[in-house]
Structure formats: C-alpha cells, structure tokens
A and B are shown apart, each in its own frame.
Chain A
Amino acid sequence: ETGVTQSPTHLIKTRGQQVTLRCSSQSGHNTVSWYQQALGQGPQFIFQYYREEENGRGNFPPRFSGLQFPNYSSELNVNALELDDSALYLCASSSKPEETQYFGPGTRLLVL
C-alpha cells in the first residue's frame, strides 16, 4: 500500500449541500493532488497543493476549493453540490511536485 489515506470512504449528500474530504499524505511527501473520477472514466485533475500553497488547478469551478496543512495533509471542499459531482475523489501524494504520485483509496461521493 502507498501510505496515503483518505476519509471518509463513502459519503451520501443531497444537492446544494457542502462536503469536506480529507487526505493524509505519505510520510515525507509535501505535495498533494486531488482528482475526480466519474464512473467509467479516467481521473480528472482538480488541483495540487505544494507546501500549503495551491500549485496549479484543473478545469473545475471555484466551488471546488482546498487546503493543505503544515503536516501536508489536505482537504477538498465542494460547495453547492450538484448531481454530477457524484464520483470517486482521489488524492495522490508525492515527495516533490515533479515526482511520481501515489494514490490513496479514494472517497466515493454520491449526491442525491
């Protein structure tokens, strides 16, 4: 296993609600990237955090936001949930932004 953990494992929300997903990076890793994977598709890059600063963002609206803490763990927040936000949310950590990423088990979010 990679040492990357995510919580919760599963979550059910309703439209309009807000959700916070958490990721603990592998020991020694200071970079965390978040991805959204819809059913049957490849992961899509949301954003990356490096040393507590956002270090790049994919094509996601501002209601997707994040944080990285001094211990390099990270949160993904999604406001005003929509049905299409139902997906597997993956975080991946690396020792530097340019190094190989290792994925956590993901959080499965269902929006009803």
Chain B
Amino acid sequence: GQQVMQIPQYQHVQEGEDFTTYCNSSTTLSNIQWYKQRPGGHPVFLIQLVKSGEVKKQKRLTFQFGEAKKNSSLHITATQTTDVGTYFCSRNTGFQKLVFGTGTRLLVSP
C-alpha cells in the first residue's frame, strides 16, 4: 500500500514554542488517525478525522484534515516536556488495517 509521508522527520523545540507536523498522501484518504508514541512506549490513539476540512481540538493540540482529504496536520501550542515523543499519522486501508506514516519525532527542551 502507499505510504503516508510526514514532515519534518525530527524537530527540537524549546518549551513554550509551537510545533506542527504535516502528513501528506498522494491519494484521497477516507479518514486519518493520529497516534503519539513516547520513547520506549507504544502508540496511543489521539484522534480520527473523517470529514473534508475538519478541525478538531484537544487542549493544546489542533488537528486538521485538508479540503481534498490528501493531507493533515497536527499543531501543538506552547509545547511542554510531556509532549516529547513521535507523532504518527495513519491511514485506514479498510477495517482498521492501518498504514502508518513515517513519523515526526519531537524533542522539547526545558
């Protein structure tokens, strides 16, 4: 299956700065999911986006699904050290057979 590309691969920010990761697909996505994986941990489900242009917020996290349903973004406002980890987007090929993106590793310095 076609992989979903994420940029950047890695970002190092100072605590309090904002962070954004982008997820891009060459094909239209039925939905997109975001997961967070802490170092040494396992992926934790954050959110699923389904509708074109959809925007959802979870506290300091803002998730957006593009109008063409080919891209998505995750924005974190005022990062904290607890935000450290790798953020993955994933597409659903059918019945939750997930194809994960390449991931963006976030490091936050205090």
| A interface residues with partner B (beta carbon < 8 Å) | 31, 33, 35, 41-45, 48, 50, 55-56, 58, 88, 90, 94, 97-106
Contact = CB atoms under 8 A, between A and B. Distances in A.
A105 B42 contact: yes
Nearest to A45: B97
Interface residues of B, number: 21
A42 B45 CA distance: 14
Interface stretch (B13-21, B61-69, B98-106): B98-106
B28 interface: no
A50 to B, nearest CB: 8
Contacts of A99: 96
Interface string B29-56: 0000101000001111100100000000
B97 A56 contact: yes
A103 B95 contact: no
B98 A31 contact: no
Contacts of B95: 48, 50, 55-56, 97-98
Interface hub of B33, B41, B42, B44 (most chain A Cβ within 10 A): B42
Smallest CB-CB A-B distances: 6 pairs? A42-B100, A97-B95, A103-B42, A103-B43, A106-B42, A56-B97
B88 to A, nearest CB: 5
Contact of A102 (B45, B48, B97, B101): B45
A57 to B, nearest CB: 9
A102 B43 CA distance: 8
Contacts of A55: 95
